[in-house]
Structure formats: structure tokens, C-alpha cells
Structure 1
Amino acid sequence: MPAAWDADQYLRYAGERIRPLNDLLARVPDLPLRPTVLDLGCGPGNSTAVLRRRWPDARLLGLDTSPALLETARTTGEPTAEYRQQDVAGYDPAPERPDLIASNAALHWMDTDTADHLALLPRWAAALRPGGVIAFQLPGNFAAPSHTLLAELRRSPRWREQLGTVRPDASCHEPARYLETLLAAGCVADVWETTYLTVLTGTDPVLEWVKGSTLRPVLDRLPEPAGRAAFLAEYGAELRRAYPATAHGTVFPFRRVFAVAVKA
């Protein structure tokens, strides 16, 4: 079952979350006039709004599995776009004949029981018009304490029955794998990584950050308020030790993997 997303929680750090997309799109070459642009895993529409500003005359289509996020996208994200509730992992974009397929911080959620998201890239490349572009970025911090501590806690005696098999602990390949896959799909590709040293403020800021993303499937398995509060207290304490507050805030290293590929 897809995670029950909370648009308000996700957008709590909207500026920090959207910065990698701006850096990604800065490397996308010019598109034709009135291009068809797909935002796959569009979430609450914040990424769709960035795409609209970059290509104001585009036919812009956003797809996501979450009704709650799509409602936010339609009302306050980017109302001028088209939206569709869609399982992106099973979606074939070929009928749209896209000029750009963009995916912002969503590709790692598209793994299935039989294939990971790497298998989607050849399908996306085949769907593009000649000269079309794939542009995506996704988190590469699955080996960071924010994720490893969560995995350890899920498997601890207290929580493993409820949480031990929530989802895989890592869903990002090394950049070279994305490069190899995109080249094999007939693209000219540029793949790189960046680690942002994000300074978060407030009470338990790393916990608040992951509540909007990584923690969503876990919270779905903890519907009872007492159990949820106990888990968050335990996990929050671990995060405070791993990411201590400083006089200027809490430094949260935020590694991202990027790719821009042009269909030859």
C-alpha cells in the first residue's frame, strides 16, 4: 500500500527540498516551443511549479499515487498543470510523446517487488521524442544515520513485529549505474552527486524532516497514538545524538544523485 503522505509536513522544509531540483534543471538544455513536460512523482506540486516557471508555455502533466498530495498540487501547487493519479512505476509515458521527463526526489519510491527503479529508465528513454530529455534527482543518503538508525530501530525487539519489513533500507544506486543505464538506453548523459550541508532549526529538526519523507511508511504502521509517540521519542533521541544541535542550528548532510540525459 502506498504511504499516506502529509503535504503540510513535506512542505515544512520546502525551500531546502526544492533546491536540488533547481540545480538539476539548470543543466537541462533548451526544449522546443510549447514542449510536453511530465513530472513523474509530482507530490504536492512544488516541483511542478518550478517546471512551469522554467517552461511557461509547456503542456505540463503531473503524476502521483497520493490523492492527498495531488489535491494540494491542484489547489496550491501549480493549478495550471494537468494531474493524474497514477502508479508511476507501471506507467508508460510513450503516448504523451514527451520532450522532458522530470522526476524530483521520487524515483526511489518507484521500486516494486520484482524490479527496482533502474528498470524504468530505458522505458522513459524510449518514450522521448528525438532530442528529448530525462532529468531526475533522488536522495543518496541511505547509509546516513537518519536511515541506518531507523532501520536498526525497526528491527529491534520492541518494534520488529510491526515495522521490520516496512520497506527496503536503500533505494539509490551509485551514480555510475545510472550513467551506464542511460548510455545503454541511447542517451548522452551527465550524472553527478552533491552533498548539501543543510542547517535545520527548531525542535528535533531532523525528526521533523524525515516525518515528511522517509518516515511516512513507518508512521502508517503505527496508527495508535501511544505507539507512535513512543517510537518517535525513541527515534528522536537517537537522531539528536547523531545530529547534535549547534549554536547555529543542526547540520544535516543531504547527499543527492542527479542525472540529465538527452536522447540521441
Structure 2
Amino acid sequence: MTVRPTWDPAQYLRHADHRSRPFGELLARLPEPPPRPTGRIADLGCGPGHLTALLAAHRPGSRVTGLDNSPEMLARARRDHAGPTGSGGRVDFALADARTWTPQEPYDLIVSNAALQWVPGHADAFAGWLDGLTPGGVLAFQVPGNFDAPSHTLMRDLAAEPRWRDRLGGVLRHADAVLEPAAYLDRLTSLGAEADVWETTYLHLLPGEDPVLDWLKGTGLRPVLTALADDPAAADTFTREYRDLLRTAYPRTGHGTVFPFRRIFAVARRPAAERRPTADRRRRPGS
């Protein structure tokens, strides 16, 4: 069963400082703009738009479009961040699905932060996205690499129990939601891009009671909450049982709760002088 999550911008933003940190690391590794910039940037999976605004500040004068398939997220983004920037650029937002989106004009930069893990087979879209860049343009993304962490495995194990299986079977993502860094490097370089791929594990120290559960209510738990939205009692039961499992996996200390979080980054630049392979650039068997 496939469930498209319903998003809660306010819940997502409760941990905005920690969630924003990887985006800052991604921006820090971006190369200079291409020789003849168009001033067009796409933020694919922009969520509530706070990082789209940060992206616009990083590239003064650009027109940055945040794209998302969540009406709730887009409404918050437009309310808080749409409009002209002080540097002569502009930020706007549009409804789009990363599973089907293709560039309709040349972009200097296509960015996606913590969104592609929701897009099955997203690496197959790299060729089209790279083709949508100006020469010297960049595709940059960051995805969680923690689908084998307790925060995910405990959720999947609970959902697979007989009493939940009929309602939650196939709802949650598995470890294959993202590729390993070496696989991303192979896919991007095979398409002729100059690629830089790396990973970082953050040790977030979260305050408060049950902060890991609170974090996941804004992200990984959304498919469960959406699937059980018509049965609040069941949603509460699942959440309570999941909370108890998280308390054991991520014990609270006198300084807070440590939440290790691995993330995978990639920055792929389309060569300024075209020298891309002419072979079939579709996904190769076994890649």
C-alpha cells in the first residue's frame, strides 16, 4: 500500500535548527556559478521554504523556485518566504512532484535537501536533471542515510506485527530508499558529471521529553500517522508503543537525548565544456 504523507509544517519546524545544519554544509560545498548564469535555481522538495530563503541569500540576485507536492508545506512557504529579495532576486513556490518533475528551462542550480528519500528510483532522474542545467551548472542534494538505524527499524518492526500489518503493510520505506555514497558517485560520474560525494553522521543532542519521537512526528512517522488518520485511537496506540521502543533505543541522559543521524551528500557539476558520454545513459543493470 502506497501512502502519500500529509505534512504538518509546524511539527516539521520544531527541530529546524538541527534539520538546517546539513543544508548549510551542502551550500558550503557548492562551486561558483556557471560562466553565463541564467539566475534560475530550483529547490526540489522545498518543504516550508525556510531553506529556500537561505538558498536565495546564498546566490544573490537569483530567482529561486521552491517545488513541493505538499499543499500544506507550500502554503506555509508562500506565507513566510515568497516575494522579492533584497538583492534584486525573487523567491516563489510551485506545486510539483519530484517523481515526475523535469526542468522546462535551463537552471544554474538544482538543489534537493532531505527529499529524494521519498522518491523511489530517484537516481534514474539524474540524467534529465543534469540535462536541465546550464554548462557548469550544479545538481546538489542531501538525503538521510539512516534507514537501518533504530528510529526506522523499530518503526518498521512494529508496523509489521500482525495487529498492524493489514493497515500499515508497505507504508514505510526501507534501507533501499537511498543509495550508498559510492553508488551515487558511480551514477553521477557515469553521466559525465564532476561529482563530489560524502557522508556525515551528526550527533544531535535533543532536549525535552521523547525528543526523538517528536522529531519523527515531523518526518519518518508521517506515513503511519496519515494511514491511521481516520482512527485516532489506533494512531495514539501505535505512537505510544513506538515511543516506548525509542526510549530504550535512545535513552535520555542528564544532558539530553543523543540522536545519531547519518546523512549522504552529493554535488555534481555539469562540465562547462561539453564532454558527456554518448552511450546509453539510462540506468545500467546492477547499478
TM-score, normalising length: structure 1: 0.95
Which consecutive unaligned segments of at least 5 residues does structure 1 have? none
Contact 1:41 1:88 in 2 (8 A): yes
Contact 1:126 1:185 in 2 (8 A): no
Match of 1:143 among 141, 148, 151: 148
Alpha-carbon deviations, 1:27-83, whole Å to 9, x = none? 101115562110001111022011011012101111100000001110114444121
Alpha-carbon deviations, 1:70-121, whole Å to 9, x = none? 011101144441211111210111x22000000000011111xxxx111111
Residue correspondence of structure 1 range 174-213 to structure 2 within 5 A? 174-213=180-219
The question of 1:15 aligning with 2:20 is answered no
Identify the range of structure 1 (203-212 vs 77-86) with the bigger mean alpha-carbon deviation. Answer: 77-86
Match of 2:284 in 1: none
Q: Which secondary structure does the structure 2 equivalent of 1:193 belong to?
A: strand
Identify the range of structure 1 (28-37 vs 14-23) with the bigger mean alpha-carbon deviation. Answer: 28-37
Match of 1:238 among 245, 259, 271: 245
Match of 2:114 among 102, 105, 108: 105
Q: Which secondary structure does the structure 1 equivalent of 2:162 belong to?
A: coil
Query: How far is 1:228 from its partner?
Result: 1.0
**Structure 2: how far apart are the matches of 1:143 and 1:17?**
19
The question of 1:254 aligning with 2:261 is answered yes
Match of 1:133 in 2: 138
Counterparts in 2 of 1:34 and 1:98: CA distance versus 1, 3 Å = closer
Read off the aligned partner of 1:100 and give its amino acid letter: L
Contact 2:38 2:107 in 1 (8 A): no
Match of 1:62 among 63, 66, 73: 66
Match of 2:164 in 1: 159
Contact 1:2 1:65 in 2 (8 A): no
Identify the range of structure 1 (54-63 vs 147-156) with the bigger mean alpha-carbon deviation. Answer: 54-63
Which consecutive unaligned segments of at least 5 residues does structure 2 have? 85-90, 272-287
The question of 1:215 aligning with 2:216 is answered no
List 4+ stretches of structure 1 deviating above 6 A: none
Read off the aligned partner of 1:109 and give its amino acid letter: W
Query: How far is 1:186 from its partner?
Result: 1.2
Match of 1:91 among 101, 107, 110: 101
**Structure 2: how far apart are the matches of 1:196 and 1:167?**
23
**Structure 1: how far apart are the matches of 2:123 and 2:209?**
37
Query: How far is 1:179 from its partner?
Result: 0.4
Share of identical aligned residues, percent? Answer: 51
Q: Which secondary structure does the structure 2 equivalent of 1:37 belong to?
A: strand
Match of 2:47 among 43, 50, 54: 43
**Structure 1: how far apart are the matches of 2:4 and 2:83?**
24
Query: How far is 1:173 from its partner?
Result: 0.8
Read off the aligned partner of 2:242 and give its amino acid letter: Y
The question of 1:263 aligning with 2:270 is answered yes
The RMSD of aligned alpha carbons is: 1.2
**Structure 2: how far apart are the matches of 1:17 and 1:96?**
30
Q: Which secondary structure does the structure 2 equivalent of 1:47 belong to?
A: helix
Which structure is larger by alpha-carbon Rg, 1 or 2? 2
Contact 2:42 2:111 in 1 (8 A): yes
Identify the range of structure 1 (6-15 vs 156-165) with the bigger mean alpha-carbon deviation. Answer: 156-165
